[in-house]
Amino acid sequence: MLLRVSELQKRFGATQALRGVQLTLRAGEVHALLGENGAGKSTLLKILAGTQRPDAGTLELAGQRYAPETPQQAQALGVAYVSQEPALCPDLNVAENILLGSPPGRFGLVDRAEQRRRASAALARVLPEGAPVPDLEQRAGDLGQGDRQLLCLARALAQTECRILILDEPTRTLNSNEAARLFSVVRELSKSGIAVLYVSHFLEEVERIAERYTVLRDGQFVQSGELAGTTREALVTLMAGREVRELFPRSPRAPGEAVLDLSDIAGKKLPISASLTLRKGEVLGIAGLLGAGRSELLRAIFGLDEVKRGTLRVKAVTGPVSPAGRLAQGVGLLSEDRKGEGLAESMTLADNITLSKLGSLGSFGFVSPTRRAAIARSFIERLGIRARGPEQLARDLSGGNQQKICFARLLHHELDVLLLDEPTRGVDVGSRADLYRIIDELAARGNAVLMVSSYLPELLGICDRIAVMVRGRLGAARPASELSEHALLLEASG
């Protein structure tokens, strides 16, 4: 056994993040760590990576006590961690990023030739056979998402003789082709004897890449086992502590009058051309590869990006309108950039939910703290947000629970038209089911939903119609019942 974790405990103030957690990891295996948002996965990973220390419990690496106090100590012992957000220095080149923190050289001078040699060797370990090698002198900020993820892998492997590789949501920002390339790399690394601890909310990719699994729930160990012979439904039940019987609910919907009409819309760069009609009581999905212009389309509709050509009508208003004007019309946007645009991390949950609409929380310009807290608490309960209460800071929540807070703010506005950009990215399967249920309820009630997603099963599962965007051009919307994942992928790839 390469790694053994026994009875691990970790507390943050009044919150018991980990309690009696167990994990065993074998050399050369891909092991999936599963659990809902707030289950304790991130805390466990941080302890293994040396960024946090446990309060109690034991860790053994190759039979020796393992207690790293810093990430550097963990790396020196052969444990490398790749976070879900590629952490790169965009203005440094590829070679400099791979050997960041340990460049070869003497007396303060970097040996550029040796730097390139080591970087090239590290890249060779993470590039699938036949894949083009990135230019070592290229700025990291100019790379695509897939190459950025592989660059982070190369850096993790270049620092030391890696024995354990921790991957936290590695496909979160990748399209299907980039994810397939990553899976190929992971398989080759495990064949070389490296143990891979793999965290993902997508059970279909876990079934594709991993051999064993461990499930955490509410900070506690639930079960470990072999994935072979274990059904997806059983894993969901273990993670959620309940049966999620209907992942994609579908209430009777009656599409009504058009509330959004686009005719040959073009932005400053993207989209190039987009036409669609969205009606009350329907969910219209937009599929496509990353960079196709899907997010730019939603931003143009909401007034965040410039519209250079075409006709845009929302309800009875034709032409571009500011974001404040769109909110006044009953149109809201859920941004894919949760940290940059969707959340004020240093503010409370109550602030994040209510700050953009305070008029109903008091009189004469004053806000009632009691009323504000009650509104926030109702959404926390409705969306199943794991939090201590309305006054907790948003930055203290897990990524999935932060996403729910962004969703709660839209619901607080009681909008007629919702523009959802990757609404379930980073959200666990149980929480996704909750959000799908709310989207279904909104559509059944007559709301209109325009939704961008890279996760094709959810588009097929909850949308009435789906349109595909390819290189900035939006195709015609067709009934979801006539489409398949294969058909959508073929169309998205041009």
**Residue range 448-485, pLDDT digits in tens:** 999 999 888 899 999 999 999 999 999 999 999 999 98
Residue 478's pLDDT is: 97
Query: DSSP character for 239?
Result: H
Residue 45's pLDDT is: 95
Whole-number Å distance between alpha carbons of 102 and 388 = 41
Residue 46's pLDDT is: 94
CA triplet 16, 63, 30: central angle to 5 degrees? 70
Residue 63's pLDDT is: 94
pLDDT band at 366 (very low <50, low <70, confident <90, very high): confident
pLDDT band at 494 (very low <50, low <70, confident <90, very high): low
The share of the chain scoring above pLDDT 70, in percent, equals: 98
pLDDT band at 328 (very low <50, low <70, confident <90, very high): very high
Report the pLDDT averaged over residues 428-433. Answer: 81
Pairing outcome for strands 212-217 and 473-474: unpaired
Whole-number Å distance between alpha carbons of 309 and 469 = 18
CB 126 within 8 A of CB 157: yes
Q: Which long-range contacts (CB under 8 A, 24 or more apart) does 311-317 make?
A: 311/261, 311/262, 311/263, 311/264, 311/265, 312/261, 312/262, 312/263, 312/265, 313/260, 313/261, 313/262, 314/259, 314/260, 314/417, 315/259, 315/416
Please report, as a single letter, which amino acid is at residue 24. T
Residue 8's pLDDT is: 96
Report the pLDDT averaged over residues 358-383. Answer: 87
Identify the H or E element spanning 149: helix 145-158
Residue 490's pLDDT is: 84
Identify the H or E element spanning 381: helix 369-382
CB 154 within 8 A of CB 119: yes
pLDDT at 365 > cutoff 70:
yes
Report the pLDDT averaged over residues 392-400. Answer: 87
Report the pLDDT averaged over residues 62-80. Answer: 93
Q: Which residues contact 268 (CB under 8 A, 6 or more apart)?
A: 305, 306, 308
CA dihedral of 428, 429, 431, 436, whole degrees rounded to 10: 130
pLDDT at 243 > cutoff 90:
no
Residue 250's pLDDT is: 87
The share of the chain scoring above pLDDT 90, in percent, equals: 56
pLDDT at 170 > cutoff 70:
yes
Q: Which of 131, 117, 195, 136 is nearest to 161 (CA)?
A: 195
Residue 258's pLDDT is: 97
Which is more confident, 424 or 66?
A: 66
Residue 367's pLDDT is: 84
Residue 428's pLDDT is: 78
Q: Which of 441, 481, 476, 447 is nearest to 464 (CA)?
A: 481
Whole-number Å distance between alpha carbons of 289 and 287 = 7
* Chain region(s) in the chain for CATH 3.40.50.300: 3-240, 258-492
Which is more confident, 353 or 151?
A: 353
Which is more confident, 271 or 102?
A: 271
Whole-number Å distance between alpha carbons of 468 and 205 = 23
Pairing outcome for strands 478-479 and 64-65: unpaired
Report the pLDDT averaged over residues 332-352. Answer: 91
Task: Report how far apart, in Å, the C-alpha atoms of 355 and of each of 52, 329, 409, 413 are.
Answer: 33, 18, 9, 11
> What is the pLDDT of the chain when averaged over all its residues?
90
Lowest mean pLDDT among 70-84, 213-227, 259-273, 292-306: 70-84
Residue 343's pLDDT is: 92
Lowest mean pLDDT among 19-23, 271-275, 438-442, 490-494: 490-494
Whole-number Å distance between alpha carbons of 250 and 327 = 27
Report the pLDDT averaged over residues 69-84. Answer: 90
pLDDT band at 150 (very low <50, low <70, confident <90, very high): confident
Report the pLDDT averaged over residues 424-440. Answer: 85
Whole-number Å distance between alpha carbons of 31 and 13 = 31
Residue 276's pLDDT is: 97
Q: What fold characterizes domain 258-492?
A: Rossmann fold (3.40.50)
pLDDT at 245 > cutoff 70:
no
Residue 378's pLDDT is: 95
To the question of domain 3-240 being in CATH 3.40.50.300, the answer is yes
Q: Which of 192, 224, 189, 232 is nearest to 208 (CA)?
A: 232
Whole-number Å distance between alpha carbons of 202 and 285 = 20
pLDDT at 77 > cutoff 70:
yes
Which is more confident, 309 or 155?
A: 309
Residue 202's pLDDT is: 83
Pairing outcome for strands 195-199 and 30-34: parallel
For residue 430, the Cα-to-chain-centroid distance in whole angstroms is 15
Residue 244's pLDDT is: 64
Whole-number Å distance between alpha carbons of 238 and 243 = 9
